[in-house]
Amino acid sequence: MSEKPTSRFPLSLASVVDKKKNGAAAGSASGGRAQATTQTAAKNAAQSSQRAAALKPVQQGLSQALRAQPAPLPVSRRPQVPAQPLLSAAPVPKTAVKNVMTVTQTNNSNHASPLASEAVRKAMVARVAKQGVADAKVLAALEAVPRHMFIEQGLASQAYVDASLPIGHHQTISQPYIVARMIEIMRQNRNGGRLERVLEIGTGCGYQAAVLSRVAGEVYSIERIKPLHELAKTNLRPLRIANIRLHYGDGMLGLPQVAPFDGIILAAAGLEVPRALLEQLAIGGRLVAPVGGSQQVLELIERVSQHDWRSTTMEQCHFVPLRPGTV
Ligand code: SAH
């Protein structure tokens, strides 16, 4: 774990702007692959005890505020553009409250599985806890979200294994441990874990957004691959979660019209954290991102004042790459 200057963060925004859209058809992104990626699950298990010990001092070691370029931020915390619930094909009734989610809502038959049982998910959560995630609210969120509903039927038997799994388009659903760990880090803020508005870059199949919806007031999530954006909508619709807003676009640009965010999570790894995202973090907000190429680390970046951010390296990780533009 180490702190380091954030001066390397900014990418030229011009280099990442590519708003081209296409009319790619919505639908399954599965492509028939029925194989789990090995990723880091085994390594995680082996490292779990070290990690549990190593992570404890993380929050105490953040002393050196590091300078970065001043940047203007929108003053208002309210979205200037009214956010549309993007699960619009199944409007959420006015009476719906956030956190309504039930594992019995398996009206998509592709997602019905005997492994939907709460017991199996409980066991997964117990493993994640053993790997060092201690935040009870995060563990409860993990326990509440039916991960099998975000995975194609052929892989459903692996839904509660702590591994990333393919979701099509060369992308993966993140492993439960890292989903929980990132959210736990984001929640260790000065508001006792309270998060009004959070942003996720890389919706993928929508799983992490669903977990986030149980710990934050509003969840915005951006995906750059149109069929995955559509897949996430399809996966989330039956869960009728009222506080998720899905956006199709380049997440490296963030959502300036909605900023600032109390927390930002990147589900894909860049060589550096895009400047625009740092600027969209609320003061006191926390951004958690994998950074690197073949070797990656999870970085926590806190915004300590209008012009200051500080960075802490947390642990090794492995994510798909963050890419500019949309497809
Ligand atoms: N959050 C997902 C993980 C998805 S994998 C989960 O719950 O499991 C990471 C995703 O990031 C991929 O779908 C990839 O297309 C997306 N991604 C990569 N670069 C991006 C960018 N610039 N903007 C938005 N999404 C991006």
More confident residue, 76 or 169: 169
Strand residue runs (E) in 28-75: 66-67
Q: How far apart are the CA of 200 and the centre of ligand 1, in A?
A: 9
Does the CB atom of residue 230 touch ligand 1 within 6 A?
no
Pocket test for ligand 1, best of 179, 225, 253 (most atoms within 8 A of CB): 225
Residue 198, domain extent: 177-316
Residue 267 CA, ligand 1 centroid: distance in Å: 6
Beta-carbon contacts of 251 under 8 Å, excluding residues fewer than 6 positions away, are 201, 202, 222, 223, 224, 266, 268, 322
From ligand 1's centre to the CA of 175, what distance in Å? 13
Q: pLDDT band at residue 36, thresholds of 50, 70 and 90? A: very low
| Contact residues for 318 (Cβ-Cβ < 8 A; gap 6+) | 39, 40, 290, 296
- For residue 30, being part of any structural domain is answered with no
pLDDT above 90 for 86: no
> CA 264, CA 183: separation in Å to the nearest integer?
9
Residue 190 lies in a domain: yes
Where does the pLDDT of residue 128 fall: very low under 50, low under 70, confident under 90, or very high at 90 and above? very high
- Please indicate, yes or no, if residue 213 is contained in any of the structural domains: yes
Average pLDDT of the residues in 49-77: 31
Residue 88: inside a domain, yes or no?
no
Whole-angstrom distance, CA of residue 21 vs CA of residue 226: 8
Mutate to test the pocket of ligand 1, among 223, 235, 296 (most ligand atoms within 8 A of CB): 223
- Cα 103 to Cα 186: distance, rounded to the nearest angstrom: 26
pLDDT band at 157 (very low <50, low <70, confident <90, very high): confident
Of 174 and 53, the structure prediction assigns the larger pLDDT to: 174
Q: Is the CB of 252 under 6 A from ligand 1?
A: yes
Instruction: Answer whether 171 contacts ligand 1 (Cβ < 6 A).
Output: yes
Mean pLDDT of the region 168-193: 97
CA distance 38 to 106: 28
HSE-CB at 285 with a 13 A cutoff on CA atoms is 25
Band of pLDDT at residue 37, cut at 50, 70 and 90? very low
Predicted local confidence at residue 43, as pLDDT: 39
Residue 21 lies in a domain: no
Three-state SS at 93: coil
Alpha-carbon dihedral angle through residues 156, 162, 163, 166, given to the nearest 10 degrees? 30
Q: What is the number of structural domains in the chain?
A: 1
Percent of the chain at pLDDT above 90?
Answer: 62
**Residue 161 pLDDT > 70:** yes
Residues with a known catalytic role: 174
Q: Which of 171, 211, 250, 319 to mutate to test the pocket of ligand 1 (most atoms within 8 A of CB)?
A: 171
Atom of ligand 1 at shortest distance to CA of 222? 24
Model pLDDT, residue 106? 36
Q: Is the CB of 292 under 6 A from ligand 1?
A: no
Q: Is 225 in the pocket of ligand 1 (CB under 6 A)?
A: yes
User: Does residue 196 lie in a domain region?
Assistant: yes
CATH number of residue 268's parent domain = 3.40.50.150
State whether the beta carbon of 224 lies less than 6 angstroms from ligand 1. yes
Q: What is the pTM of this model?
A: 0.73
In a domain, 49, yes or no: no
Average pLDDT over residues 179-197: 98
Give the model's confidence band at 142: pLDDT under 50 very low, under 70 low, under 90 confident, else very high: very high
DSSP class of residue 24 equals P
In a domain, 172, yes or no: no
